[in-house]
Structure 1
Amino acid sequence: MSFRYDIALAAKMVEASYELFKHPKRRNSLKGNVKGSLNDRHVQAVFTTQNILLIPGSNSVGDYIMFNLRVLNLGGKKYRMNDDLTETWGSNVTWHQGFMKHAKIISDWMRQNGYKPKFIVGHSLGAAATQILVRTHDVHGIAFAAPRVTRGTAVPAPASKCLCLNRLDDKVCDLPSSFEHLGNIRTGVGQRKFLRFDHKMARYREMVTKLQADGALESHWPAR
Structure 2
Amino acid sequence: MEKKKIPGLPHLQFHNLFCIGRNYVEHAKELNNEVPSQPLVFLKPTGSIIFDGDKIQIPHQSENVQHEVELAVAIDKTGKDIPKEEALEYVGGYGIGIDVTARDIQQKAKEKGHPWTVAKGFDTFAPLSTFVEKDLIEDPQNLHLQISVNNEGRQSDSTKLMIHTVADLIHYLSTIFTLQPGDIILTGTPKGVSAITTGDTIKASLSNGLATISVTVE
Length-normalised TM-score, structure 2? 0.24
More helix by share: 1
**Bigger proportion of residues as strand:** 2
Work out which structure has the larger RCO, using CA pairs closer than 8 Å and 6 or more positions apart in sequence.
2
Q: TM-score, normalised by structure 1?
A: 0.23
